[in-house]
Structure 1
């Protein structure tokens, strides 16, 4: 039968009321955009330097082959004290560390703190004692990469920014997965549509890469937080006070410094970074006079200035007797209350161990390892070891490398996608409409993340205030 009524015309898109889902989608998209705008350059830097750090050992083995490898492995090695004496002839200063060869064919290294400041590594043939060369710590590839990765090369304040970026990376992952969610779609979910010259192809590449790598990127962001200047320090203190990080009783009743281990120039496990530094007790002095008040920042001294010191050779014998293998890096005493400290960082975090010896008696002042950590401490150290690609060998490094590459791909694809969509002269941010309201779920997620990571929460509040206070004229300039 013929219809007399004319079919109704579709409502123009601009007049259609926004559904709650589309309003939430636009709001999440807007936050995803601004988070990326703030984070992308730094995420790319973190990814590139992180990838280099994953393979620092094989890279440095090639770069510093002339310093690390020796040809003649026949004959007995000189003792540590003789090697240190040869190193001091080549570079006067204060010897602060000794790294013996772990296996035949490797050199020994003596760290010398030079009068002008800084530390220089002197490499020696352990058999002949010949100096192979030297390398300032500040120029070592791993130290340069570490400084760039944490932005500590700029200054400590910049590390706070890294913490904020890591927090926003978590926001990027959560919001990105929400934007990718199929919602009944098939195209662009698991495949790339269009041609590489089209924005759609870059959009699909961005979404697919981000979704596949989401878990690894989220893991890197969360496990990187312990190194941050604010969250890491406070988290370590709180877990130790609760007894789920590093129990206080481990260091016994002897004297200890108010200076944490991380501040005295040695590499220590994250869980021990804020622990007090054990101190040696000079002969004929009452230990109770120094407990809690001594400082490790005493004037530099050398072994021969303290005749009653057990000496580095004896200290190495004690460490070996405690089960620490040859080649374990040893920090040498600095000042009359300094200690010998062996720092073992094997690939398996369960074998991690730090031992301090009294420089006069050889008594073990502390012997702390993974076995002593509380549940929070163990979880953090596992995360740190996986983050740095150590725990599961080459498979671990490949997975973390894939995550780093994915972050670079996401950064490049985001910039290309934005450039192709951006009208001339505009920022092209996703628009905010008056009818849009944030869903309770999204507010709750943001509140939880802000409570866990306070610097992220503060930056989110700041972004909200700026977004709300932005004049209409500027909002029109920046809008889609």
Structure 2
């Protein structure tokens, strides 16, 4: 671009050049960020869309182990647990999930060495309906694929980077979408699928319509991430905005936390300590699972809760449920000798910020407003797939033959000073994503120093 020197208009080309430089720099960032995360975004959308309907999947594909004929009266929990343990030689009961309704099975989790097995039992006859390892249960596999936990804790860190990049993509996408005298591609899609402009407009319009929901999914998903989510959880608790720590003031606690004894724990209480039972020198016998269930039932626990069974003499019975109805979310730790509830915490006791976080997670999982919530989140997942696939098609149609087709460098490299500042601020909010952005910029600038690479990338 040339710079004009006519009187009264000398500054216009300079301003225009800065505008072009900023647009190209953000476009380039948007391209590289999308290139890195599109496969993960599609995977998250597909697995997330499936998990929205986990209850429906259980009630159809796996009805044979979840739904039972209604009998006259259910057996005692101890009889159900005993039959499950007998079905898995050498095992010991770890947890018991009470039937969620009169036509629902009970589930006993047993430990076999370092492994676990979930045994589904008819609560009326104690017949074994099915046995499956937790890591092989369908909805658990979908959840683990969604979080990448399926591939190990180290790989799971990628989710935090992807979620941060998703937020970055939305905001840079809004900047690129912002109308600049064009009439098409703002709220309408031009052309036909044979033309690149169709895919550009589909990408832009779908992205802008779903932008807020994508940011919501990404941010609420970050709460589960290994580093950022754990850090936020810890800071909230330290600031008195997490679980009410005062409930633990008068009870001895173990080194275990909720996630050590429960297969599923609420976000706010997942790192809450588990109390200890008072042994009284071993002279008092344990109350047993039948009485523990009776105590939890009398306390008003919603049917379908999970009861963790103490594994040693200082362990407690922990009854917990995290249902779609947040008002019924509850965790009770019961002394295994006295039967006294040591800690009883419900959703109503959470601080306002904690309630807001649990609510956002509930919406993320499609549980807050029934079918409407499920369909809203499913629509957002489909939008993510459309945005991702249209980006790939758009790039494929735009790229020069034999080259990658990276958006051009900005005319003014000095524009990167402001972008570095933006990256720093973003990195302070989302450290792992910030580090990835810095690496992306450094590689981009380094590769541009070599002429052969410039030709391949451009």
Is the shorter-chain TM-score for this pair beyond 0.5, marking a shared fold?
A: yes
Write out aligned runs for 1:299-314 (5 A).
308-314=285-291
- 1:62-101 Cα offsets, whole Å, 9 max, x none, are 1211111222x23211100011111112113011111222
Q: Secondary structure at the match of 1:435?
A: coil
Match of 2:434 in 1: 457
Look up the match of 2:187: 190
- Kindly state the Cα deviation for residue 439 of structure 1 after the two structures are TM-superposed: 7.8
Residue aligning to 1:238: 235
Which residue of the partner structure matches residue 448 of structure 1?
425
1:222 aligns with 2:222: no
- d(CA) in 2 for partners of 1:70, 1:100: 13
Which whole-Å CA distance do the structure 2 matches of 1:447 and 1:350 have between them? 40
Q: Which residue of 1 aligns with 2:75?
A: 78
1:274-293 correspondence to structure 2 within 5 Å: 274-284=271-281
Mapped contact 1:278–1:356 kept (Cα < 8 A): yes
Other-structure match for 1:12 = none
1:113 equivalent in alignment to 2:111:
yes
Give the corresponding residue for 2:8.
none
Task: Give the structure 2 partner of residue 327 of structure 1.
Answer: 304
Residues of 2 paired with 1:172 and 1:43: CA distance? 11
| Residues 1:56 and 2:19 are matched in the alignment | no
Structure 1 residue runs of 5 or longer lacking an equivalent are 1-14, 286-305
* SS of residue in 2 equivalent to 1:270: coil
Q: Give the match for residue 8 of structure 1.
A: none
Q: Is the contact between residue 245 and residue 375 of structure 1 (CA under 8 Å) also seen in structure 2?
A: no
* 1:353 counterpart = 2:330: yes
Answer whether contact 2:308 2:318 (CA < 8 A) is retained. Answer: yes
* Cα offset, 1:196, TM superposition: 0.5
Post-superposition shift, 1:264? 3.5
Name the counterpart of 1:97.
95
CA displacement, residues 92-123 of structure 1 (integer Å, 9 cap, x when unaligned): 301111122222222211111123x3221212
**Cα distance change, pair 247–127 in 1 and its aligned pair in 2 (3 A):** closer
Report what 1:143 is aligned to.
Answer: 140
Equivalent in 388, 408, 411 of residue 431 of structure 1: 408
**In 1, are the aligned partners of 2:258 and 2:265 still within 8 Å (CA)?**
yes
Report the secondary structure of 1:337's partner residue. coil
Post-superposition Cα deviations, 1:19-48, rounded to whole Å, max 9, x if no partner, equal 222211111100000000110000111111
Following TM superposition, the consecutive aligned residue runs of length 4 or more in structure 1 with deviations greater than 6 angstroms are none
Q: Structure 1 CA distance, aligned partners of 2:208 and 2:240?
A: 37
Q: Tell me the distance in 1 between the aligned counterparts of 2:456 and 2:175.
A: 24
Written as runs of structure 1 = structure 2, the 5 A alignment for 1:19-38 is 19-38=17-36
CA distance in 1, matches of 2:194, 2:348: 55
2:391 is aligned with 1:414? yes
| Alignment check: 8 A CA contact 1:280 1:358 kept | yes
Aligned length: 444
Which residue of 165, 172, 177 corresponds with 2:174? Answer: 177
The answer to whether the aligner puts 1:88 opposite 2:66 as a matched pair is no
Q: C-alpha offsets along residues 132-167 of structure 1, whole Å, 9 cap, x if unaligned?
A: 222221111111011111111111011111101110
TM-score (norm 2): 0.92
The CA distance in 1 between the partners of 2:425 and 2:86, in whole Å, is 58
Single out whichever of 438-447 and 464-473 deviates more from structure 2.
438-447
Tell me what 2:250 maps to.
Answer: 253
Residue of structure 2 equivalent to 1:42: 40
Does residue 151 of structure 2 align to residue 154 of structure 1? Answer: yes
* Mapped contact 1:51–1:404 kept (Cα < 8 A): yes
SS of the equivalent of 2:151 reads coil
C-alpha distance in 2 between matches for 1:339 and 1:16: 71
Structure 2 residue corresponding to 1:67, chosen from 65, 83, 91: 65
Relative to structure 1, is the Cα distance of residues 240 and 228 closer, same or farther in structure 2, using a 3 angstrom cutoff?
same
The TM-score, its normalising length taken from structure 1, stands at 0.88
Deviation at 1:440, TM superposition (A): 7.9
Consecutive unaligned residues of structure 2, counting only runs of 5 or more, are 1-12
Alignment of 1:477 onto 2:452:
no
**Are residues 180 and 434 of structure 1, via their aligned partners in 2, closer, same or farther at CA, if it must alter by over 3 Å?**
closer
Q: Is the 8 A contact 2:174 2:208 kept in 1?
A: yes
In the alignment, the residues of structure 2 paired with residue 21 and residue 102 of structure 1 have an alpha-carbon distance, to the nearest angstrom, of 60
Distance in 2 (CA, whole Å) between partners of 1:461 and 1:446 is 7
- Give the superposed CA RMSD: 2.0
